Structure 1
Amino acid sequence: MRLVVVSAGLSVPSSTRLLADRLSAATAGRTSPGADVEVEVVELRDLAVEIAHNFTNGFPGRNLAAALAAVTAADGLIVVTPVFSASYSGLFKSFFDVIDPDALAGKPVLIAATGGSARHSLVLEHALRPLFSYLRAVVVPTAVYAASEDWGAEGLPERIERAAAELATLMTGLSAPSTRPAPVKDEKDEKDETAEKTDKAEKTGQAGKAEFTVVPFADQLAALAAR
């Protein structure tokens, strides 16, 4: 399985990349035993110039094309952005603007964000989730936001594990209902079933005839006159 992580962090080191790494490690650890998970990280900071050129000339550069192909071919996707002006970053949005509109259809996606204050945590629900719902991705229920004060505090590791488990479940198909093939009937069973239905129909018809007897109106009048 291929797990692709898109990180829109700009600084080095980056808390956005740190959150992305923790989410990818937790997801890889939650997949079914024996599953070979290949993790690839796409750093949008390194693609900024090619993304801008793609808007002006309509063609992706070599590195951008490789990143778009990786995202398209992924079995699962983790996307992490820093919060700028109470929303995702412009670089993050630009990358998903140049990707094919159908590339994420039906793809499991875990959304996450980092910010300086917990007041921006709703960016996950009012910005990121609608974006990926529009792209027809399958967004896992648990989104992860990490404010500056969350690092090393209680709660963040639990959210990471819960979101990772949800993504791993979708990637491995554990949540898909099992489909059992319909039992195959042999020729003898079909003949017996047909004979049973015919016998039942005949009995029903006979019962109906015994219960409902049609008496001509003239005979009814004659019976009344004889009284």
Structure 2
Amino acid sequence: MTSEAKDVEGETADGRTIAVVSAGLGQPSSTRLLADRLASAAVDALRGRGVEAEAVAVDLRDHAHQMVDAMLTGFTAGALRDAVDTVVGADGLVAVTPVFNASYSGLFKTFFDVLERGSLDGMPVLIGATGGTARHSLVLEHAVRPMFAYMRAVVAPTAVYAAAEDWGSGRSGGVDGLSERVARAGAELASLVAARAPAAARRDAADADPYAHPVPFERLLASGGQ
């Protein structure tokens, strides 16, 4: 069993990093708990494929004031800048929000509003939400999934909603059903992440100097300059 997402920024040298964004307000938080379980399932599935991976947590409650500042000024700084870099530089993303007024929380939406346009293009994303009743489960499909689709992320087919009863106990309780959904969603995210080039390799390609390996002059002459 893997441990919960680390509360540090960083990435594995040769493996993949899963950023884990949680918009829970309390400590402890059922939203963070669900996020950790989803991330653990994705990491386990990647390791099952022979791909080393780690999860890095981003608790949005820690950055609430800086997010408001960023919305007003247009600039991110300090710990918020580190959190943004963690998310946009990851190989995959787990994003979990509590349900407020039948939608994602303002804290959750504000963080993704702060990101620069295009920063999540092609990013594999697993979405989740928590709430007091299962009646709000469709918030993932009518609010959260469309938001990430608009940001051109690639959202895993299975979204996981955890209501209060899902945290119950007993053989006939909600735990088994939630565990199955978490495992399926984690496997889907792992498949999307494994199919994509590592983030580090993509950054190296983007940063490569196009003039670092010029074509020898003799070869240009031999090809008629073409």
CA distance in 1 between partners of 2:145 and 2:86 (Å): 21
Q: Unmatched 5+ residue regions in structure 1?
A: 175-227
- 1:2 is paired with a residue whose SS is strand
Name 1:19's counterpart in structure 2. Answer: 34
- Deviation of 1:101 after TM superposition, in Å, equals 1.6
3-state DSSP of counterpart to 1:155: helix
Deviations 1:180-200 (A, max 9, x none): xxxxxxxxxxxxxxxxxxxxx
1:46 aligned onto 2:62: yes
What residue number does 2:195 align with?
Answer: 173
Paired residue secondary structure (1:126)? helix
**Paired AA for residue 23 in structure 1:** L
Report how far residue 16 of structure 1 moved: 0.1
Normalized per residue, the structure richer in helix is 1
Displacement of 1:38 in angstroms is 2.2
Residue aligned with 1:136, SS: coil
- Supply the AA of the counterpart residue of 1:10: L
Q: Paired residue for 2:87?
A: 71
1:160-199 equivalences under 5 Å are: 160-173=182-195
Count the aligned residue pairs.
174
For 1:132-171, list aligned pairs within 5 A. 132-152=148-168, 153=174, 154-171=176-193
Letter in 2 for 1:96: F
Displacement of 1:57 in angstroms is: 1.7
Output the CA distance in 1 between the equivalents of 2:188 and 2:103. Answer: 24
The superposition leaves residues 30-72 of structure 1 with CA deviations (integer Å, 9 ceiling, x where unpaired) of 0144422121100000000000111122211211111111111
DSSP 3-state at the match of 1:5: strand
Taking every aligned residue pair, what percent have the same amino acid on both sides?
Answer: 58
| Matches of 2:62 and 2:77, distance apart in 1 | 12
Instruction: Work out whether 1:99 is the aligned partner of 2:115.
Output: yes
Amino acid at match of 1:25: S
- Structure 1 CA distance, aligned partners of 2:166 and 2:124? 26
Counterpart for residue 182 of structure 1: none
The residue number in structure 1 matching 2:216 is none
Q: Distance in 2 between matches of 1:150 and 1:45?
A: 24
State the partner residue of 1:5: 20
Q: How does 1:55-70 map to 2 (within 5 A)?
A: 55-70=71-86
Give the TM-score taking structure 1 as reference length.
0.75
Give 1 or 2 for the bigger CA radius of gyration: 1
Structure-1 residue corresponding to 2:171: none
Counterpart residue number, 2:220:
none
Alignment deviations for residues 153-195 of structure 1 (CA, whole Å, 9 cap, x no partner): 2311000000000000111118xxxxxxxxxxxxxxxxxxxxx
User: Partner residue of 2:139?
Assistant: 123
- Which residue number corresponds to residue 129 of structure 2? 113
Residue equivalent to 1:177: none
